[in-house]
Amino acid sequence: MSASIPAYQQIKEHVLAQIHAGVWKEGDAIPGEEALARAFGVSRMTVNRAIRELSDEQIVERVQGSGTYVAQQKYQSTLVEIRNIADEIAARGHRHRSELHRLERVRANHALARRFGLSPGAPLFHSVVVHFENGQPIQVEDRYVNPEVAPDYLAQDFATQTPNAYLMRVAPLQGVSFEIEACIPAREMAELLGMNPEHPCLVLHRQTHSRGQVASFASMWHPASRYRFTGRF
């Protein structure tokens, strides 16, 4: 085992590799925790963490008293659909354009480190993009990206493609979690959206997973008066 990669992460990557290679297919049972602990020379607690995280990411399904099985891939049908905002706007027959306001390498603070499962100070990529519909700003996309999943992120031209379109191509989606809240924007955010700073925004916070890791965390700000969320289950 590699000393530079936590043991539980190596077990996760092993399980994912077996699934992606077709060795373990949807509905197949995977080896039990005791068997994996022996194979990797680790404690059962370490294996339990790996399997628990895979279960949270909907890669495997744990059945009490029976075992752990490769889950059916339900992401498109059971989760809010991940759509490219450029495609959403085009589907309405409108024009999309975007402005890149920030594209940089940063160090993870404690909150971001916890979210990505990294150490504080670990490198992340950060972008801020404003999306326009028929010339009117409707979304500020404030996104952090794991360099391990998308190492060429900073070299992309986000005037010609959206960050979401790029990430969906290079980091196949394994799972997603999200929350929506209403917030009063900071003045800078209100200026980017061309709105009164006393009016609320609808904010979608979305975390995606790929290759057994957190791939990105994005906060997408929308003027509440000009935007609504829809979903398909």
Answer with the one of 31, 48, 73 that is the final residue of a domain. 73
The whole-angstrom separation of Cα 54 and Cα 212 is 8
Burial class (CB in 10 A: 0-12, 13-18, 19+), 174: buried
Here the CATH number for the domain that contains residue 92 is: 3.40.1410.10
Are residues 169 and 55 part of one domain?
no
Domain of 40 in residue numbering reads as 7-73
- Per-residue pLDDT tens over the stretch 182-222: 999 999 999 999 999 999 999 999 999 998 899 999 999 99
Are residues 168 and 84 part of one domain?
yes
Residue whose structure tokens are 């500020």: 140
Q: Which residues pair with 131 in a beta bridge?
A: 98, 139
User: In this structure, is residue 20 part of a structural domain?
Assistant: yes
User: In this structure, is residue 228 part of a structural domain?
Assistant: no
Hey, what amino acid is at 103? L
The whole-angstrom separation of Cα 207 and Cα 217 is 4
The whole-angstrom separation of Cα 205 and Cα 218 is 6
Are residues 67 and 90 part of one domain?
no
Are residues 178 and 95 part of one domain?
yes
- Per-residue pLDDT tens over the stretch 144-197: 999 999 999 999 999 889 999 999 899 888 888 888 889 999 999 999 999 999
Here the CATH number for the domain that contains residue 19 is: 1.10.10.10
